[in-house]
Amino acid sequence: MEERMKKQMAFALEIDKVKNIFRQTHLSLRGRNENDAEHSWHMAVMAYLLKEYANEEVDIAKVMLMCLIHDIVEIDAGDTYAYDEEGLKTQKAREDAAKERIFSILPEEQKAEFTALFDEFEAYETAESRFVHAIDNLQPLMLNNSNDGSDWREHEVTAEQVYTRQRKTKLGSEKLFEITDAIIQDNIRKGNLK
């Protein structure tokens, strides 16, 4: 096998590890905890289905790839729960180190491509990255809502914390923020969010 293909195959095998990174979010209907691969796949399909609600025209292929790679760094960095204030303080440093190690497995130009795409997602400056963040916020919110807010109750999450996390959703999609707001308000009424 040629060297380029060896690197690509090594990366393909390495990213299989993302299936072992479990999130705080549970699958719908009170299923087990979701893993990062399931989260990313679900986001990519949702992005395609909901693309018409992006605030701006987006390159949907780029959006879907961004969805699929945005959590690969968690192979090394681990999943940081959205409401873990201590974990959030070190998240960027852990993810930057992971990005360098994992993407360095690839041939140089593919490393550059994936690094640039990951950095674009993190920077939140393009229509694509803003829309991916909107989907990244909506997906676990939707699952938690389907589980009657059990993850929020378990972690004693407040409505203010959820709104703080969701505040940028409207930058990617005003329409998806309307859905987000309705879900949050419903869970406040139900007592799932303090």
Give the side-chain half-sphere CA count within 13 A for 186. 14
Rounded to a whole number of angstroms, the CA Rg of the chain reads: 17
Q: Tell me the average pLDDT of the chain.
A: 96
Q: How confident is the model at residue 29 (pLDDT cuts 50, 70, 90)?
A: confident
pLDDT, mean of residues 20-38: 94
The angle formed by the CA atoms of residues 135, 139 and 144, to the nearest 5 degrees, is: 150
Strand pairing category for 33-35 and 22-26 = antiparallel
The per-residue pLDDT for range 33-57, each reduced to its tens digit, is 999 999 999 999 999 999 999 999 9
Of 14, 132, 139, the residue nearest 70 (C-alpha): 132
22 membership: H or E segment, kind and range: strand 22-26
The per-residue pLDDT for range 83-126, each reduced to its tens digit, is 888 988 999 999 999 999 999 999 999 999 999 999 999 999 99
Separation of alpha carbons 129 and 190, rounded Å = 32
Query: Could you tell me if 128 and 61 are in contact, meaning their C-beta atoms sit under 8 angstroms apart?
Result: no
Of 130, 139, 138, the residue nearest 34 (C-alpha): 139
Separation of alpha carbons 4 and 83, rounded Å = 40
The CB density around residue 157, as the number of other CB atoms within 10 Å, is: 22
Check pLDDT > 90 for residue 1.
no
pLDDT, mean of residues 152-175: 95
The full length of the chain comes to 194
